[in-house]
Amino acid sequence: MTVFGCAIFGGSTLLDRATAHGNAEKTVAFYYGPTPPLEDMVGIDMVILEPDHVARPEVALQLAAKRRQALFAYVSIGEINVTRNYFAQVPRQTLRTENKNWGSWIVDQTSPLWREFLLTSIIEPLWRQGWRGFFLDTLDSYQLFAKTDLERERQRQALVETIKYLKARHPDANLIFNRGFELLPDVSQFVHAVAAESLYRGYDAVKGQYGQVTPSDRAWLTAQLANARDRYGLPAIAIDYVSPTGPDTCAETMNTASLIRAAGFIPWVTDVTLNSLVQLRCPS
């Protein structure tokens, strides 16, 4: 990973960065498929990849640095998919409940064992490969088992401490949050951008269907992204999902991207596997 903050923005503050490089001027791409087509993403400011699918990360990262492009490694911090090669090594007492919709287990953020495993067995190997940017996913998964205000606050505080530990261990680490809005009052100074899925169009994992987001859900998420952007000076990214096999895929993709951009956020519209560059390949 190129050092996103240092290489591109120098020592400027997050507010300076947001002012000088507004959402409308930034671009982002997410690609989790095998053999990511990096040449097709030249000119994109922030590219989030599945690191297991980058065969020679040192080469990709060095090339991105020359292009002044920031690469981020996907890291799930709130739950672990059973297909991960390190799943068998995760301390079993840290696993709280199964998320059958996605084939993963949600972890207990308050467990010191989980924090140490995350930093030592997940982040550290990526750091040694040269990654300096991390897209932290599933930050709010604890809400699926934490049902009381007290329990949710304990999980939230534990996540805050984990982020602080990560930054203390690696001050040059650059972080993009997927949601995690409730963490921002405590750690916004460590965050380079905030993303959230399904602003206009999403995917229902239970029904296995793409579709429109309800107006109430859209209003809530719009307010959260706007708060991250306006109060904390963070680039705000909206990731929406469109069927890759629909008859109007290109039209739906570009229309959705336009709606997101008009709302003041950075758009990325893709399929639910994040294995598509349709937003880049459809005519604008």
CATH number of the domain bearing residue 268: 3.20.20.70
Positive/negative CA dihedral, 205, 211, 213, 215: negative
Model pTM greater than 0.85?
yes
DSSP 199: S
- Residue 109: what are its φ and ψ, rounded to 5°? -70, -20
**Residues counted in the chain:** 284
Closest CA to 162 of 186, 181, 141, 179: 186
Burial of 143 per CB tally in 10 Å (0-12, 13-18, 19+): middle
Task: Tell me the per-residue pLDDT of 187-219, one tens digit each, with 9 for 90 and over.
Answer: 999 999 999 999 999 999 889 999 999 999 999
Domain that holds residue 171: 4-281
How many domains is the chain partitioned into structurally? 1
**89-90-95 Cα angle (round to 5):** 150
Closest CA to 239 of 40, 29, 89: 29
Low-confidence residues of the chain: pLDDT under 50: 1-22
Yes or no: say if 139 and 77 are a contact pair by the CB < 8 Å rule.
yes
Structure confidence at residue 283 (pLDDT): 83
